Amino acid sequence: MKRLFGVCVVALLLGAVNQTQAQITVFSDNFNQFANGVNLLGTNYTPAIGNHVDFNSRTGSPTVVAQSFSGNIAASFTLGASPSAASYYLAYNPLGYQAFTLAWNQEIASSMVSTGGFMINLQSAEGANSFSPIVALMDNGAIGTFTNSPSLDTFIPIGNWTTYAAPGTFMTNSLTVNYGGNWSFRINGALVYTAAMSSFFTNILGAIEFDAWHEMDTPDNSYAIDNVTVTVPEPSALLLTLAGCSVLLFRRRTASRNK
C-alpha cells in the first residue's frame, strides 16, 4: 500500500508539472461540401464534426450562398435593403466542459458608415433558446461587447477590426470562453480583449449563433465565414492520474478488508 501510494504521489507531481492540455474538436464545418453559388438559406445538415447546422433568414431579404474564395468555399452573407438579418446556427456536444474555443475565418467586404455588423451570440440567461452577442464586429470597423442585452446603451468598444485585417481580406478569429473565469477574443493571433465572464450568459453549452444584420437606411455590407471549429480541453494528465490512483487505492483497500 505504501509503495502504491508513493507511486501515485510521484505520478501526480509529474502530472502537475505537465498540464499543457490538448484540445478535442467537437465541431468542424468548412462548407466544401457545397458547390460555388449554392443557396444556403433554409438549409440544415450534419457537419463533418458536430450535431447540427442551420442557415436562417431572420428578417428582410438576405442571401447566403456558397462562394469560392481562392478555391475555398465559404458561406457568404449579403443583406440587401434594411432591415435585414441572417444567421448561422451550430450545435455540438460539449462533453460536459465549462470552457471552449470557437475559431473561424472571416471576411468583411467593406468598412463603412452603416448601422450593421456581424455578431457572435452565446446562449443567454434570459430564457430557453435565448441568444445574445458577446462580440460584435461592426460595419464601421468597431469591435464591441455588451454589458447585458444588446443596445447602443450597453455597447462597449473594445477595438477595431481594420487594425488587424484590411476590408475584403480574410482574418482568423478566435473566441475562448471559460464560464468559471474569463473570456478572450483574438484576431490573427493578436489579443483584442479579455474580461471576466458575465453571469448574463448561461453555462449551458452546446450551441453558438453567428448573426449578420443591417438596420436603418444605410449602405449594406457583406460577410463571409469559413473553417468554423469548436474545441474543448482534453482531460489533463493530472486529473486522469488522480482518477486512476483513486481507483487503485480503493481496490487495494477493498482487497485488504476482504482477506
Q: What is the pLDDT of residues 3-43, one digit of tens each?
A: 444 444 433 333 333 345 788 999 999 999 999 999 999 99
- Per-residue pLDDT of 202-248, as tens digits, reads 877 799 999 998 876 666 678 999 999 999 998 764 444 444 444 44
Is residue 188 predicted with pLDDT exceeding 80?
yes
Domain that holds residue 78: 22-234
Tell me which residue has cell 440567461: 125
Question: Cα-atom radius of gyration of the chain, to the nearest Å?
Answer: 22
Check residue 79 and give its pLDDT: 86
Q: Does residue 61 sit within a domain?
A: yes
Q: Does residue 134 sit within a domain?
A: yes
Q: Which residues pair with 214 in a beta bridge?
A: 84, 116
Q: How many other C-beta atoms are found inside a 10 Å radius of the C-beta of residue 229? A: 22
Q: How buried is residue 138: exposed, middle or buried, by Cβ count under 10 Å (0-12/13-18/19+)?
A: buried
* CATH code, domain with 161: 2.60.120.200
Check residue 13 and give its pLDDT: 37
Q: Does residue 147 sit within a domain?
A: yes
Q: Does residue 143 sit within a domain?
A: yes
Looking at every residue in the chain, the average pLDDT score rounds to: 81
Check residue 215 and give its pLDDT: 78
Q: Does residue 10 sit within a domain?
A: no
Is residue 48 predicted with pLDDT exceeding 60?
yes
Task: State the total domains in the chain.
Answer: 1
Q: Does residue 253 sit within a domain?
A: no
pTM: 0.81
Cis peptide before 83 (omega within 30 of 0): yes
Length of the chain: 259
Question: Residue 228's closest CA among 98, 122, 96, 74?
Answer: 74
Q: Which of 27-31, 57-61, 122-126 has the highest mean pLDDT?
A: 27-31
Those residues whose C-beta lies under 8 Å from the C-beta of residue 20, and which sit 6 or more positions away, are none
Q: How buried is residue 113: exposed, middle or buried, by Cβ count under 10 Å (0-12/13-18/19+)?
A: exposed
Structure-model confidence comparison of residues 107 and 21, the more confident one: 107
Q: Does residue 13 sit within a domain?
A: no
Q: Does residue 93 sit within a domain?
A: yes
The model's confidence at residue 154, banded by pLDDT at 50, 70 and 90, is confident
